[in-house]
Homo-oligomer: A and B are copies of this chain.
Amino acid sequence: MTHVSTVTGHTGCDDAGCQHRVCRSISGPKPLKRHKVLRRGDRLELEHGSCRKVWILLNGMTAMCVGLADGRRQILGLDVPGGIICGMSTGQHSGAWIEAFCDTVLCELELQVAAQFQADNAAPSDGMEVIANLFSVIHQRLERYSSHLVTLGRLDSTERVTLFLLDMAIRLGRPCGQAVFVELPMTREDIADYLGLNTETISRIFTRLKKSKLVQFPSRSSFSIPEPERLERRLPLPVPHHMSLDQLETFLSTLHGHAASFDGVRQ
């Protein structure tokens, strides 16, 4: 179940994920970066030491997970396509891993290599931009974790689920007029582990929301919200709306420069 297949080059680039400008900008015509393909349940163990690698999520959905000694699992955060994932440099073994909810394509970048490159290169300010962007990645994650701490510490189960659905609508949803439709590859257990609840509770609250017509569930792995504002009014705080695209742009621009230079070196 923990089988991780690694594919180099442009494998999987026919599908929509790889048409992503992030992928194209970074890997260019001659693929430099390595693509990792994960399937549902596959894990990427984070080596403790330093955060040497960064992954750009091209397709699919992943979670940052932590496990306890007795098997309990807590999901710290979720990532959707466009997200930039970075391990943490805990001295201790944190027991954290990245897990895929469905077929997922990641673009792996070695920061060590980038750092090495910038050290050899003449322009130091450009090289530091990598750190500056890494900063913004970590910073965004900190914002997300901050609001999730409030969710876990002070919201009841209904509020948690409501906030979760609205957040997913913002991050994954396809607007259909006023309504939003969301394809969500998480199981009830995944959702429970993210919200600090259990599967049955998630199921019960979904049923209640369905009956009150606030949310529709056309299938197991999708839902739609007819009137997002009405749902949001039930919350004691605004739904956090974190930037993501600009941040991506910035990160991209830096790395693009590197990738291009790398290509030059190799030729």
A135 within 8 A of B: yes
A125 within 8 A of B: yes
A177 within 8 A of B: no
Instruction: List B contacts of A124 (CB < 8 A).
Output: 124-125, 128
A139 within 8 A of B: yes
Instruction: List B contacts of A117 (CB < 8 A).
Output: none
Instruction: List B contacts of A92 (CB < 8 A).
Output: 238, 240-241
Q: Among A54-62, A148-156, A164-172, which stretch is in contact with chain B? A: A148-156
Instruction: List B contacts of A238 (CB < 8 A).
Output: 92
Q: Bound state CA distance, A152 and B194, in angstroms?
A: 11
Say whether B88 contacts A146, CB under 8 Å. Answer: yes
A134 within 8 A of B: yes
Q: Bound state CA distance, A143 and B86, in angstroms?
A: 12
A4 within 8 A of B: no
Q: Which A residues have a C-beta under 8 Å from some C-beta of B?
A: 66, 68-70, 72-74, 76, 88-92, 94-96, 124-125, 128, 131-132, 134-135, 138-139, 141-143, 145-150, 152-154, 193, 195-196, 236-238, 240-243
